[in-house]
Amino acid sequence: MATQPHTFSTREEAPVTTTIDIETTTTEGAAGSVGSLADVHGDIERVLPDAPPDPVMEAFGLNVFYGDFHAVHDVNLSFGKHEITALIGPSGCGKSTVLRCLNRMNDLVPSARVEGDILYHGQNVYARGVDPIAVRTHIGMVFQKPNPFPKSIYDNIAYGPRVIGMKVDDMDDVVEQALRSAALWDEVKDKLKQSAYGLSGGQQQRLCIARTIATQPDVILMDEPCSALDPIATSRIEDLMVGLREEFTIIIVTHNMQQAARVSDRTAFFTARPDETTGNRTGLLVEYDLTSRIFTNPADQRTEDYISGRFG
């Protein structure tokens, strides 16, 4: 297990006391799960308590504004350790916005303003003095569209450890471990020096996941990671997520309800409520529960309507 201190330094430089010991057992677990959907279905049956017992991240009274526009209203969520949490809902319901608050990527939007608390192991990510750059070394992110850097496959993986100044004994090992964890090693081991742009979309997305793993984060955020991929590539990424759950906490935004049902342990359903005067749609959390319950016996009528395809 990756051991990492669960606090951010409030200084300029990120603390890099990360030890580079992705154990080989977990690596094999991730690699072995690819292509065997039985594992995935087996995992869905796992029994979880009603509320995450050991939340890695929590949101309390989260409100997000873009200028005057109220994008997200009063969201409370907690994300369990080594669980996959899916955020679902119709377009414009604020689920991506919530996700991007968790590692302060919303800071990059000039007009964005965040109210409320986002806790990471109890520490407020938005507290004064917390460096967003340090936050992002603990909470990695995979984007909607595969976005490898215009560099070689090797350099794509090595980039993260290099920029955060991670102490690395052998970068080749880091690259290999990350690619193995992302179930990409066998496909690219002979062309590490080639451009990442030569890979297929699905491979590029797994490269992006490997790139995120290489910096040894604690939490991986995924913003619709399969929306640009075909069903086969999607299924490989889903298998990968289930394997990565052993080591990381994963929070995924998805438009694909089947995907949420297949991979996630818990599901949060968001919807958008139009403002009566301006018509602007504000996102709010409708229901948050175990995935099995959300998809079989939702408590809220709006959830049931969305799940059964009656709207959205």
Residues that bind other proteins (CB under 8 A): 14, 103, 105, 108, 110, 133-134, 136-137, 140-141, 143, 145, 147-150, 159-160, 163-164, 208, 211-212, 215
Question: Smallest distance, Å, CB 70 to other proteins?
Answer: 20
If the CB atoms of residues 1 and 163 are measured against other proteins, the closer one turns out to be 163
If the CB atoms of residues 137 and 303 are measured against other proteins, the closer one turns out to be 137
Pairing of strands 112-120, 281-290: unpaired
Question: Smallest distance, Å, CB 137 to other proteins?
Answer: 4
Q: Buried b / exposed e across 127-152, counting CB within 10 Å, b at 16+?
A: eeebbeebbbbbbbbbbbebebeeeb
If the CB atoms of residues 64 and 208 are measured against other proteins, the closer one turns out to be 208
Alpha-carbon Rg for the chain, nearest whole angstrom, is: 19
If the CB atoms of residues 211 and 245 are measured against other proteins, the closer one turns out to be 211
Gap between the Cα atoms of 252 and 85, Å rounded: 6
Question: Smallest distance, Å, CB 133 to other proteins?
Answer: 6
* CA angle, 205 then 138 then 252, to 5°: 45
Question: Smallest distance, Å, CB 172 to other proteins?
Answer: 19
If the CB atoms of residues 98 and 294 are measured against other proteins, the closer one turns out to be 98
Question: Smallest distance, Å, CB 211 to other proteins?
Answer: 7
SS3 306: helix
Region class of 310: left (phi > 0), else alpha (psi between -120 and 50), else beta: alpha
